[in-house]
Chains A and B, each alone.
Chain A
């Protein structure tokens, strides 16, 4: 990953307290896992920004390295990788996702 791509991603996760890297966008998720991630965040009443990795190949590849995480979606809260859609699901069910979201709001 180039320094420029790293800086762009840094900027995205730091300027949005809750930031979801996904395929598609909030209204039109292009993958079932991304769709689930959006629904879980909406279920928590979260205000969140989404980044469509399908529109930017550099980000699509770079985010995997940035997060040391091989798949998309990826959720960042307060600059930290929370996880992908199954971690989000597990944390939603335990209430931990709601807690994180409330802290971020």
Chain B
């Protein structure tokens, strides 16, 4: 961090976000109404904030109109990311099985056609206890599983591709109100983009972490360098006395360009809020560039 830039009174650190390769997929959940599709999607993406303990990171990408879905009903596009294909398969099966299959009127379809095939309805079909029926329509295989409201239709597989997880922005603000306003504005701007999710609650995480801990059993612990409560206590703090609240936005995307685009609009939203709105600095989390292959330099994002 040598030459910070100033935009609308906000300092943009000469830093970068360090992101990792992940396995990713998209599923499309449709239902009789958008309300029921949303119920299923919210449930399926619950407890999926971080791969540290959730198994996967998942979120609602966007709502789909009836003209955008295979069955002509309203739907929700959901993105899921995991550290391995095996874990992603396990998470998709559990979440679709427990949260989509169970939700009234829903059906589930592949949201990605390319890549490696990942089981979607392939194993869930056995819930039909022998009454399930396969149907190939337009070269796509579906399973029709009898349930109490009719039948649950699930495409047999969805596509699994390489994604990028861990893009991030750190928003350093004057106080809690300012930090929340900056974070909410940035998340709102990012949500307009496709192919990305912000998996934490409301898209925002207040417990940014560093790798390692003084406790051997923990792989991650609080990011003390960005904790205002530890300013003046820890040996090295990234903060200044006027920074009293920091929020982080974590971004997972299907490609490096998608994550970069989301970070770019997030920075722009923060700059638009400006120092007058209480946002003091924008920074990013990294591990010195030694762990993740994707580096998103804030200044480069600002210039592009």
Are A and B physically bound partners? Answer: no
